[in-house]
Structure 1
Amino acid sequence: MSNLPIYVFSGPSGAGKSTVLQMLMEKFPNNFGFSVSHTTRKPRPGEKDGIDYHFTDRDTFLSEISEGKFLEYAEFAGNIYGTSRS
């Protein structure tokens, strides 16, 4: 296990979280990574499963919540979003 600190970039959509992280990953490629969230929403045009989000159905997501597979999750606009433990 690494002793490096964990940084969380949180903010509303369009605030620039991904832009800041992409800049940090370019400058420090061995120190920063990107967590891909899970969601029950349908992919938007151009989004790829496992890159933009891990897309899944609601029943699977709810089952994985009950199995403790998520660090955090929330429902927004009828869709569930979450960060897995793995």
Structure 2
Amino acid sequence: MMNKRTLKKSINAICDEIFAEAVALSLYDNDRNMENDDALIRSVIMLRANYISRISHPEPGMDVQAYYKDLRDKFTAEAQQIVDQLNA
């Protein structure tokens, strides 16, 4: 199991990369819709804030390892969904 610090660093790094890609696409691709790009950028910011705050406060009554595994799986799924929207 990863410790909290490593998990936070990983989530921050992934969100930073997705954010940079979203900003670059919105600036350099003139055929894109600006409202959609702004919504994607906001969703990356909200994704980061949501998961970073959830790391420090695991749900009571749930096994810690199961909680962090579920958190990583959900984060991966949401991040992949945003990346797919960027690529579309």
| TM value normalised by structure 1 | 0.28
| TM value normalised by structure 2 | 0.28
Which has the larger helix fraction?
Answer: 2
Which has the larger strand fraction?
Answer: 1
